[in-house]
Structure 1
């Protein structure tokens, strides 16, 4: 299961959806990234649908998105890979 997580302006909590296939989540990631690159006057509305929770729908304005990331849920120890970036300093 792959998670796509959005950080929004003026919101301390991220929005996320889950998809079963990497190709599905990558396509959505690319669509959001392209919308974020468009002019600030753009009012693109992006609708996201979750595979894990069938009735979960999220609609956001592209210009309100600060960041978007993909990470894979791991079945090992019931956890997930830590989202974002981390530095391993030896």
Structure 2
């Protein structure tokens, strides 16, 4: 399972959706990244493959960052959820 996580302006918690396949996750990551690069406010609607019926709409002008990572089955995985700086 792959997680696409969005950091939003004025929000302490990121929002995320999940994809089962790497190619689908990479495609969504690129779609969000393109929206960030264009800089024009528009509504971006995302769906989640893990939680059926989960839909998320965000205004692209409120997006600060996007990241993609693989969700590991192990509880003590090396990647912590959220945006963080690993030193």
TM-score under structure 1 length normalisation: 0.84
Q: 1:53 to 1:79 in 2, by over 3 A?
A: farther
CA RMSD between the two structures: 1.4
Instruction: Give 1:79 shift.
Output: 4.4
Find the aligned partners of 2:43 and 2:76 in 1 and give their Cα distance.
Answer: 32
1:35-89 CA deviation, whole Å, 9 max, x = no partner?
Answer: 11113xx22211110011011000111111001001111112x3442244412xx
User: For the pair shown, which has the larger CA radius of gyration, 1 or 2?
Assistant: 1
Find the aligned partners of 1:31 and 1:55 in 2 and give their Cα distance.
Answer: 20
TM-score under structure 2 length normalisation: 0.86
User: Which ranges of structure 2 fall in alignment gaps of 5 or more residues?
Assistant: none
Q: Secondary structure at the match of 1:5?
A: strand
